């Protein structure tokens, strides 16, 4: 069963962070991650990403090996795991 993850983060520059995420699209597709990025329109330094993937472990493995892990993030992101019922 797949899992949906919402990641909310305060970022220095949303456009730069989005570019970094977009550059990793092929790698995400290889491991079965579907990804959408969102910007808070009233607070543009707040970004959200919604991931759908096979398991939590896929996210942990991907984040560990990708350059995105900490790039441009101002403080610890809030990560919410959702499972369909």
Q: Which tokens in the block code for residue 41?
A: 């329109």
Domain boundaries, the chain: 3-71
Percentage, residues of the chain above pLDDT 90: 13
pTM over 0.85: no
d(CA 3, CA 33): 10
Element (H, E) at 14: helix 14-23
CATH topology of domain 3-71: Alpha-Beta Plaits (3.30.70)
Q: What is the mean pLDDT of residues 7-31?
A: 86
Confidence at residue 71, expressed as pLDDT on a 0 to 100 scale: 59
Query: Between the CA of residue 55 and those of 4, 25, 31, 33, 68, what are the distances in Å?
Result: 9, 18, 10, 9, 19
The tens digit of pLDDT for each residue in 67-84 reads: 555 557 778 889 899 988
d(CA 50, CA 21): 12
């Amino acid at each position: 069963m797949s899992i949906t993850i919402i990641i909310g983060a305060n970022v220095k520059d949303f456009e730069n962070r989005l570019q970094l995420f977009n550059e990793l699209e092929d790698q995400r597709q290889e491991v079965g991650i579907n990804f959408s990025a969102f910007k808070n329109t009233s607070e543009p330094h707040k970004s959200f990403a919604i991931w759908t993937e096979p398991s939590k472990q896929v996210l942990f493995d991907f984040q560990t090996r990708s350059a995105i892990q900490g790039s441009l993030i101002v403080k610890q992101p809030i990560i919410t795991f959702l499972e369909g019922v």
